[in-house]
Structure 1
Amino acid sequence: MTQLQFSLNMEKLKDSVMNSNIDAVVKSTIVLILNEYMEKERDEYLQAGAYERSEIRQDYRNGYYDRDYMMSIGKMKLRVPRTRSGEFSPSVFEKYKRVDQAFTLGMLEMVVNGVSTRKVKNIVQELCGEEVSKSFVSSLTAKLDPIVREWAERPLNTIYCPYVFVDAMYIKVREHHKVVSKAVYIATAINEENKREVLGLKVDHQESFEAWASFLKSMIDRGLQSPKLVISDAHEGLKKAIQKTFIGTAWQRCTVHFKRNLVDKMPKKGMKEMVVDIRRIFEAVTVEDARKFKEAFLSKYENNTKLDKVRERLDEGFEDSIQYLNEPTKYHPFIHSTNHLERLNEEMRRRERVIRIFPNNQSAFRLLGAHLMEYAESKQQQKALLKK
């Protein structure tokens, strides 16, 4: 690396020290050093000093321009030398470019982790002594758009996922000067290596057959092969969309939701024993045992008229709730419910609460997509550590 020798204007530095507070002294000192450094860099680039005749001269001086430069101690104005051709560029800005990038990434990280743009603005002011607008922070976060979009539209034909989980959560979005409710559709999966994958994300209108079918088809268009099992709650539009979209795929009703629905219909008296009997059904290891325990439950409580709705619901939804038992036993703890997806939704909800109302669909897709990317990357890192 070239070593540049230069001297400072000590009179200017002395004046800064004598007539300014310590913050101004630090800034003035850095400005003097950087200005002098850039001046010497231009001399070296030209291979000629000021007013010097030289046969190896590369270009000619062309004055200066002012440029604001942000550092951790605040904003400062530098006097940047230029050349006639415009090809000279001081290394100062390149040298500190990674600092700017780190600072920008830090702000993006704060937003993705649920810090509001207002708080980010206040943090920047506290660190740098300079105020930035909320719109400036928002414009920075827009840099995530192409990254999140590319990730969300990546091909899915490189892996096979036998077990796919789908669920939806609701958020508030401004649309046509009104605040409306929007559904966020999310799909995750377990691949052949028993590792979790995030497959898809979509922000759309409220849950319906058409919306769910469109979301599932978008993943097929990206190369998703029909899974063995799709695990979800019992939303009618979703059930119909799964049947129409994934031919030959079985549907697994989330056992946690199903048991909760059954318990909600039970009378308070004697509930504890009934709950134990219900749990025994879904703790079975084989389909045969589950069916045996179910018949035992129906027989035991057949004369209890207060359990008519419970027995009816159990009989109606039973087969859909035990499809996971047809899969290898090692997968049973992971595919009987959508619990892991609901935990992921809750983490997204924690970050979404800070914003409360998204200004538009794109901002919601950006933030939630960035969080899902972060989650997916953490799973990949865990996978890499396990392989070591």
Structure 2
Amino acid sequence: MGVRTDGRKELIALAEGLRESTESWADLLRDCRRRGMRAPELVVGDGAMGLWRALTEVFPQARHQRCWVHKTRNVVNALPKSSQPGAKKALQEIYNAEDRDHAEKAVKDFDRAYGAKWPKAVKKVTDETDELLASYDFPAEHWIHLRTTNPIESTFSTVKLRTRVTRGAGSPAAALAMVFKLTESAQTRWRAITAPHLVALVRNGATFHNGYLVERPEVSAA
């Protein structure tokens, strides 16, 4: 799923493949490139390593943003139940921070609070801080859209419900066709992103710092 310069979300590609396979993801991305898609400014995804390795190969210019919903779930599940509510709140302090400086401070606070006892859980955050905070270099109005893969997840919830009812599509090709038609139908109901006028600025290389546009200095006439 991508975002057009007018702010509308659009289905870009759908393919059968192995989730963790770099080659499966690379084939999908190469197909997008063959059909004329330029390198995206930012790609939002979960921890599927195949996607990120394929991006490095096909669209090396693209920035990476990890999904906070998936990351929170993975970190919390690596902690004992008694610590999960506090950890979840601490993670919210990171991704809801007003700017990158406050987010980075919240990461350090999370490390101090949980790193000594549960270093593996904390490393899931500290080892990927740049990818988790990439959205701060984009318009603040877009942060709510860039922090998670929920738009895709919610669409596939509907798809899964329908495919369960059919009890199997008969063949992989038929299943893929069914998923495509269901997703294509859902696309008409996808909500455009907030402040769509800023998408064109992002696409044209405008610089944003902590969500705000950085005005370029006027060039003096010689």
TM-score computed with the length of structure 1 as normaliser: 0.47
Residue 180 of structure 2 is aligned to residue 365 of structure 1? no
DSSP-derived class of the 2:175 partner: helix
CA distance in 2, matches of 1:286, 1:347: 35
CA distance in 2, matches of 1:299, 1:247: 34
DSSP-derived class of the 2:79 partner: coil
Deviation at 1:379, TM superposition (A): 4.4
Given candidates 175, 188, 209, the residue that maps to 1:377 is: 188
Pick the structure with more strand per residue: 1
Residue 128 of structure 2 is aligned to residue 317 of structure 1? yes
**2:159 counterpart residue number:** 348
The residue type equivalent to 2:89 in the other structure is: V
Deviation at 1:228, TM superposition (A): 0.7
**1:198 counterpart residue number:** 11
362 and 275 in structure 1: CA distance in 2 versus 1, 3 angstrom threshold? closer
1 or 2 for the larger relative contact order (CA 8 Å, sep ≥6)?
2
**2:48 counterpart residue number:** 235
Deviations 1:144-173 (A, max 9, x none): xxxxxxxxxxxxxxxxxxxxxxxxxxxxxx
378 and 270 in structure 1: CA distance in 2 versus 1, 3 angstrom threshold? closer
CA distance in 1, matches of 2:40, 2:27: 17
CA distance in 2, matches of 1:269, 1:337: 26
Residue 101 of structure 2 is aligned to residue 288 of structure 1? yes
Equivalent residue pairs, number: 193
TM-score computed with the length of structure 2 as normaliser: 0.79
Given candidates 54, 58, 80, the residue that maps to 1:267 is: 80
Ranges of 4+ aligned residues in structure 1 off by more than 6 Å: none
Identity among equivalent positions (%) equals 23
205 and 239 in structure 1: CA distance in 2 versus 1, 3 angstrom threshold? closer
Q: Which runs of 5+ in 1 are unaligned?
A: 1-187, 384-388
Residue correspondence of structure 1 range 1-388 to structure 2 within 5 A: 188-204=1-17, 207-302=20-115, 304-305=116-117, 307-379=118-190
Deviation at 1:205, TM superposition (A): 5.0
340 and 379 in structure 1: CA distance in 2 versus 1, 3 angstrom threshold? closer
Contact 1:190/1:197, CA 8 A, preserved across alignment: yes
Deviation at 1:207, TM superposition (A): 4.2
Contact 1:209/1:237, CA 8 A, preserved across alignment: yes
CA distance in 2, matches of 1:272, 1:358: 41
